[in-house]
Structure 1
């Protein structure tokens, strides 16, 4: 049950991030609705699982990452009907938003683990 819940939460967060990325970059006529982006994230999770299976039998080292990245950009290119550059920028924006979300969630977890002092007091040595 926990694995299913984790998959659903990851799928929803990924969909929101991809949806925001395309909203920031694409003109209105190229934008997709949230359900379309949710379908994209679901399809990509299947593709990624297949790639994981393939690469577990034929490890290619750093080449695996490059193949996965190029395939991801191609999927974005095909899904949104844009060129390679726009698809790569959507991917880059999504990556940046993901980092911000992870940073926020990490700070949230840190604040939950710091009783009474709060987050700002625990970060005080690192602030100017």
Structure 2
């Protein structure tokens, strides 16, 4: 393989990693918005489907703004490190030396990374898992 092919493969890999990171940050924002929307309740009351969509979008917009304006650099670094580790663990989920399947809510049960992080959002566990991974020191 020549240098140009290696560079092309590295750029493709970097783009894939960046896309996975962006997807995870988006799902963390969605998880936060959902938690704030429900505010500890089991249900929310809406008038109709457009009202529900509007309410969700409004909370999501507020969460995006809040994350951009109020996240400290330390929190960003923790999330960044945690997401990198989560992506690595996802990509190496069949490695027998990694025995975290239960703690990570069985990533092997999901066909792709996006399905897996959506599952963690439904459990309200994505941000928690990412922060635990990001704070983990050898």
Higher relative contact order (CA 8 A, sep 6+): 2
More helix by share: 1
TM-score w.r.t. the length of structure 1 is 0.30
TM-score w.r.t. the length of structure 2 is 0.29
